[in-house]
């Protein structure tokens, strides 16, 4: 069976963020450099992390919404002599897991030896995802395509598209904005010790409730950030990673990359969840940490439910009593997620999963780089010895399971 | 009828012009596959169920049910900035329950919108050439 054969054959050689002395935490609102420069910085850091020369890269996968650079240009900028695999995925958060899966497939099939995965964007100072719509009628005042049925009612921007799902979810399952606040507080708590995170102050229910309304039912603090950032990952064979610098985190299984549900509350994990567990050869209870795509508060809540940790509408109770905290039975969004760390279209949540599995969560512990953690929750956000992590793209469109050897 | 309509207008295309044309006559129509009777919207060339291209335009009653709704406070599109908060809804059709259509509800306070609220189509002549579909409570 091919899925079983793929299991564990590829691994993460290195991860990197597009940092600079001006942006040590990688996420900013105004990078002051081109998207290509951000992508190259992240790639260099990932190769440094792996202990390989960037010129060893011979494959590349990225995803974008006309807001980035052609993938091969990153390898060209680094003087890589040969490109054996190049994939430019046209799309957004649905590819957050799948871009990694595709790179792993290229490596698994022997097409690429070291395949780069990256997402780079000046998402705040350049092309803003929050402005995305089906058409603006520029010049003519008329919109065609899908926009002739949406934009004409003033519908544009991700908060408005997702708020339909949230509203129906809340109404049918008696989920309230206070439940959203609880989820946001838990997630923010994990961000407080994340030096990369843009939002690190502890959050209160009152702050959540009094943050301005963007699109009802979403308050500002229900919405993910818009940031300038790049994230990169280098994939190669597990065999090679065993001889590189870092602990070996393998790819157990991955699939996607989009979904369509008749019921708008339903996510792709209803379909992907059972399949990916089978492909990875694990049970749900084996997953130690969950890094879902958290563009808006209800989305990760529904992903928890659709993966099977609890029933539809029960995530509001599941997340209580510290169950999803760093010391709970299922730590979720261990770095604060897209809402607090920043927005690299979901790829940053995957890098976080790798850091956690290596025991190298970037926090305030003095020696985190060497995997030495205090577990003092005033400074430490490393989960205790996690082995398996699940990461997924927007509304469960794609998913991937990482496993530390 | 306002002299100058300040919002965005539709740009009908080959597959949607009949849908928009019907609205001019205050008729709400949907494409229905003549082979398997499945409704589809927005209009498209092929039936997603049986792949046939054969279809007819079926006039429906205009009775709908509110499937979900939002209220926009911070619009992306500049034309709506003076109108906040405004509602946008998804409606399912009594005569074609698999269809969800985007619109807005007029004649009701936003705070009174609820899921499963019964609605009826209204036809709004916003310019000399354009009729837009809206909804009101029934
Ligand atoms: Zn048909």
From chain A, pick out residues whose CB is under 8 angstroms from the CB of B79: 154
The reply to whether B8 falls in a domain is no
Q: How far is the CA of A9 from the centre of ligand 1 (A)?
A: 43
Query: How far is CA A270 from its chain centroid?
Result: 19
Mean pLDDT across A79-105 = 96
* Interaxial angle between packed helices A298-307 and A269-280, expressed in degrees from 0 to 180 and rounded to the nearest 10: 50
pLDDT tens-digit profile of B81-95?
A: 999 999 999 999 999
State yes or no: pLDDT of A2 exceeds 80: no
In the numeric block, which tokens belong to residue A8?
A: 């564990």
With CB atoms and an 8 Å threshold, state whether B76 touches A157: yes
- Average per-residue pLDDT in chain B? 95
Pairing of strands A213-216, B63-72: antiparallel
Beta strands in chain B (DSSP E): 9-10, 29-33, 39-40, 55-59, 63-72, 86-93, 100-103, 118-125, 131-137
Residue numbers of A annotated as active site: 293, 343
Q: Are B101 and A149 in contact (CB under 8 A)?
A: yes
Look at residues B60, B138, B49 and name the one whose alpha carbon lies nearest to residue B93: B60
With CB atoms and an 8 Å threshold, state whether A156 touches B9: no
Superfamily of domain A3-127+226-241: Thiolase/Chalcone synthase (3.40.47.10)
* ipTM of predicted assembly, 2 dp: 0.96
Which H or E run includes A143? strand A142-143
pLDDT tens-digit profile of A200-250?
A: 999 999 999 999 999 999 999 999 999 999 999 999 999 999 999 899 999
The reply to whether B5 falls in a domain is no
State yes or no: pLDDT of B61 exceeds 70: yes
Shortest CA gap A131–chain B (Å): 6
pLDDT of res. B5? 92
Look at residues A327, A326, A350, A356 and name the one whose alpha carbon lies nearest to residue A337: A350
Q: How confident is the model at residue B1 (pLDDT cuts 50, 70, 90)?
A: very low
Q: Give the torsion sign (CA, A56, A59, A65, A70).
A: positive
pLDDT tens-digit profile of B114-124?
A: 999 999 999 99
Cα separation of B46 and B55, whole Å? 9
**Quick check: helix, strand or coil at residue A316?**
helix
Q: What are phi and psi of B34, to 5 degrees?
A: -75, -15
- Average per-residue pLDDT in chain A? 95
pTM of the model: 0.96
pLDDT of res. B2? 47
Tally the domains of chain B.
Answer: 1
The reply to whether B10 falls in a domain is no
Torsion of CA A135, A397, A329, A233, to 10 degrees: -90
Q: Report chain A's C-alpha Rg in angstroms.
A: 20
Domain extent for B73: 17-137
Mean pLDDT across A240-262 = 90
Mean pLDDT across A265-285 = 96
**Quick check: helix, strand or coil at residue A54?**
helix
Q: How confident is the model at residue A318 (pLDDT cuts 50, 70, 90)?
A: very high
pLDDT tens-digit profile of A28-83?
A: 999 999 999 999 999 999 999 999 999 999 999 999 998 999 999 999 999 999 99
State yes or no: pLDDT of A137 exceeds 80: no
Does A213 contact B at CB distance below 8 Å?
A: yes
Per cent of chain A over pLDDT 70 is 99
pLDDT of res. A139? 74
Mean pLDDT across B106-111 = 95
Does A375 contact B at CB distance below 8 Å?
A: no
pLDDT tens-digit profile of B9-47?
A: 999 999 999 999 999 999 999 999 999 999 999 999 999
pLDDT tens-digit profile of A348-401?
A: 999 999 999 999 999 999 999 888 999 999 999 999 999 999 999 999 999 999
Residues 6+ away with beta carbon under 8 Å from B11:
A140, A142, A143, A144, A148
Least CB-CB distance to A216: which of B7, B71, B76? B71
Instruction: State which residue of chain B sits closest to A262, comparing Cα positions.
Output: B98
pLDDT of res. B3? 57
**Quick check: helix, strand or coil at residue B1?**
coil
Cα separation of A105 and A115, whole Å? 10
Q: How confident is the model at residue A1 (pLDDT cuts 50, 70, 90)?
A: low
- Which residue ranges make up each domain of chain A? 3-127+226-241
**Quick check: helix, strand or coil at residue A20?**
strand
- Chain A to chain B Cβ contacts (< 8 Å): 114
């Amino acid at each position: 069976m091919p899925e079983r054969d793929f299991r564990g054959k590829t691994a993460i050689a290195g991860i990197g963020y597009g940092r600079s002395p001006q942006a040590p935490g990688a996420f900013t609102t105004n990078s002051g450099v081109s998207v290509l420069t951000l992508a190259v910085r992240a790639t260099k850091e990932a190769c440094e992390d792996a202990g390989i020369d960037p010129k060893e890269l011979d494959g590349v996968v990225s995803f974008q919404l006309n807001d980035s650079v052609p993938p091969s240009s990153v390898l060209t900028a680094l003087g890589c002599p040969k490109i054996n695999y190049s994939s430019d995925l046209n799309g957004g958060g649905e590819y957050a897991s799948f871009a990694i899966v595709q790179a792993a497939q290229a490596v698994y099939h022997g097409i690429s030896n070291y395949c780069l995965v990256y997402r780079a964007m000046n998402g705040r100072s350049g092309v803003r995802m929050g402005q995305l719509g089906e058409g603006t009628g520029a010049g003519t005042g008329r919109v065609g395509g899908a926009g002739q049925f949406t934009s004409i009612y003033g519908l544009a921007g991700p908060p408005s598209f997702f708020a339909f799902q949230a509203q129906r979810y809340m109404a049918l399952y008696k989920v309230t904005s206070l439940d959203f606040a609880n989820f946001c507080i838990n997630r923010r708590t994990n961000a407080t010790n994340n030096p990369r995170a843009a939002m690190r102050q502890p959050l209160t229910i009152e702050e959540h409730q009094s943050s301005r309304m963007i699109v009802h039912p979403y308050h500002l603090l229900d919405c993910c950030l818009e940031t300038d950032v790049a994230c990169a990952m280098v994939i190669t064979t597990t065999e090679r990673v065993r001889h590189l610098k870092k602990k070996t985190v393998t790819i157990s299984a991955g699939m996607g990359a989009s979904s369509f549900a008749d019921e708008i509350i339903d996510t792709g994990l209803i379909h992907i969840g059972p399949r990916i567990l089978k492909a990875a050869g694990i049970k749900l209870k084996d997953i130690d940490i969950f890094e879902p795509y958290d563009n808006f508060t209800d989305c990760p809540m529904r992903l928890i439910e659709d993966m099977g940790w609890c029933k539809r509408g029960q995530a509001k109770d599941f997340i209580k009593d510290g169950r999803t905290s760093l010391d709970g039975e299922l730590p979720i969004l261990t770095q604060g997620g897209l809402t607090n760390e920043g927005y690299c279209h979901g790829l940053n949540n995957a890098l976080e999963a790798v850091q956690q599995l290596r025991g190298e969560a970037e926090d305030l512990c003095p020696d985190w780089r060497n995997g030495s953690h205090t577990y003092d929750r005033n400074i430490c956000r490393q989960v205790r010895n996690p082995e398996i992590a699940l990461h997924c793209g927007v509304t469960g469109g794609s998913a991937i399971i990482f496993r530390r050897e | 009828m306002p002299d100058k309509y300040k919002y965005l207008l539709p740009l009908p295309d080959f597959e949607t012009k009949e849908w928009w044309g019907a609205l001019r006559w205050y008729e709400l129509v949907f494409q229905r596959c003549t082979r398997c009777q499945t409704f589809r919207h927005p209009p498209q060339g092929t039936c997603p169920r049986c792949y046939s291209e054969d279809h007819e335009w079926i006039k429906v009653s205009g009775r709908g049910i509110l499937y979900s709704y939002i209220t926009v406070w911070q619009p992306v599109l500049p034309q709506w900035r003076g109108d906040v908060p405004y509602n946008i809804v998804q409606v399912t059709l009594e005569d074609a329950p698999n269809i969800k259509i985007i619109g807005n509800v007029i004649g009701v306070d936003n705070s009174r919108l609820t899921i499963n609220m019964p609605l009826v189509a209204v036809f709004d002549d916003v310019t000399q050439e354009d009729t837009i579909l809206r909804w009101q409570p029934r």
